[in-house]
């Protein structure tokens, strides 16, 4: 019997009782392949909203104008899904042990984009979890969120006790470091909630701040996207990468993992059991000349079901030119 098939409600009374139902949902989430899961009430993130508004006011979101749209919705899941009563927060480990090459004719790709698009992988598992909940609890409804919805993923992961927010602004877990994807399932069910959080273990360490070649981490826990290599090579919609970033790309073609690579907590990394996150051919280091030769048709085929399509063909070719100009 599979692990998923074995997760069955014991009886109708337990199925509807908040404590037992929360326990069953967590068990099922783990059976679906998530490494960590927490359950918290669907409530307003008031402290996080204030921090978001300050970050936006400082212009640190760059051209990501959607970050400033309706902060009320972004910080209150009930604005997105009015029936929400609970938030199931999950973490999926994506670490694989491949290493970048030092070949200057190639560009380094961020580890999160080596395999299949995490939106598809995590989203499919959350939809499967939601389907099981609907079968288990009559009248249950929910909404799956994986990054693209206006939900503060990292804030929910911290609130649910999955990890703490590191000084580099990534969530760090004691078991897997920061190599995790985060997703949420908003539910119209009242459940028993987790209350324990993981305290900040960054201490006096500033390795991530010191290692950033562009000084994008302005201060602990505050990132200026305008100076971030990941932002410049993925989200920025401009014909050229800004000079101060271009001069400090250090071989990064798509994204950047420098702040994570130097984090001491990532010595606890564990190889993911998810085969779809293992590297595709050419996704650890991209051949820059091949990228420049891509057509819209070959681009669509090359990056189908890959997170790297986020930068679009124009962005990837711009990045390749920036590295070859060095």
Residues acting as catalytic residues: 147
- Measuring CA to CA, which residue among 198, 163, 186 is closest to residue 39? 186
- Rounded to whole angstroms, how far apart are CA atoms 7 and 131? 13
- Measuring CA to CA, which residue among 219, 192, 317 is closest to residue 227? 219
Q: Are 204 and 32 spatial neighbours (Cβ–Cβ below 8 Å)? A: no
- Rounded to whole angstroms, how far apart are CA atoms 195 and 130? 23
Angle of helix 118-136 versus helix 18-31 axis, rounded to 10: 140
Q: Are 279 and 98 spatial neighbours (Cβ–Cβ below 8 Å)? A: yes
Let me know the angle formed at the C-alpha of 125 by 91 and 304, rounded to the nearest 5 degrees. 100
- Rounded to whole angstroms, how far apart are CA atoms 244 and 227? 8
Rg (CA), the chain: 20
């Amino acid at each position: 019997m599979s692990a998923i098939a074995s997760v069955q409600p014991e009886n109708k009374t337990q199925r509807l009782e908040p404590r037992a139902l929360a326990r069953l949902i967590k068990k099922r989430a783990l059976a679906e392949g998530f490494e960590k899961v927490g359950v918290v009430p669907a409530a307003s993130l008031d402290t996080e909203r204030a921090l978001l508004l300050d970050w936006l006011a400082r212009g640190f979101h760059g051209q990501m104008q959607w970050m400033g749209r309706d902060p009320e919705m972004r910080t209150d899941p009930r604005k997105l899904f009015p029936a929400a009563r609970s938030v199931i927060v999950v973490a999926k480990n994506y670490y694989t042990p491949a290493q970048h090459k030092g070949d200057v004719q190639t560009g380094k790709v961020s580890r999160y984009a080596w395999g299949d698009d995490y939106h598809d992988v995590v989203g499919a598992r959350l939809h499967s979890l939601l389907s099981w909940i609907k079968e288990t609890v009559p009248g249950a409804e929910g909404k799956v969120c994986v990054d693209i919805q206006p939900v503060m993923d990292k804030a929910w992961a911290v609130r649910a006790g999955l990890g703490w927010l590191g000084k580099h602004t990534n969530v760090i877990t004691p078991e897997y470091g920061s190599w995790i994807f985060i997703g949420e399932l908003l539910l119209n069910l009242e459940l028993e909630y987790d209350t324990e959080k993981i305290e900040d273990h960054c201490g006096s360490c500033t390795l991530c701040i010191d290692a950033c070649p562009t000084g994008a981490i302005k201060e602990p826990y505050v990132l200026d996207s305008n100076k971030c290599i990941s932002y410049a090579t993925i989200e920025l919609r401009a014909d050229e990468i800004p000079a101060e970033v271009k001069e400090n790309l250090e071989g990064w073609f798509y994204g950047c993992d420098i702040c994570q690579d130097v984090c001491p907590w990532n010595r606890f990394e564990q190889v993911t059991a998810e085969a779809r996150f293992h590297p595709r051919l050419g996704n650890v280091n991209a051949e820059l000349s091949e990228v420049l030769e891509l057509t819209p048709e070959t681009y669509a085929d090359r990056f189908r079901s890959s997170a790297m399509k986020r930068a679009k063909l124009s962005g990837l070719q711009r990045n390749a030119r920036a590295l070859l100009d060095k």
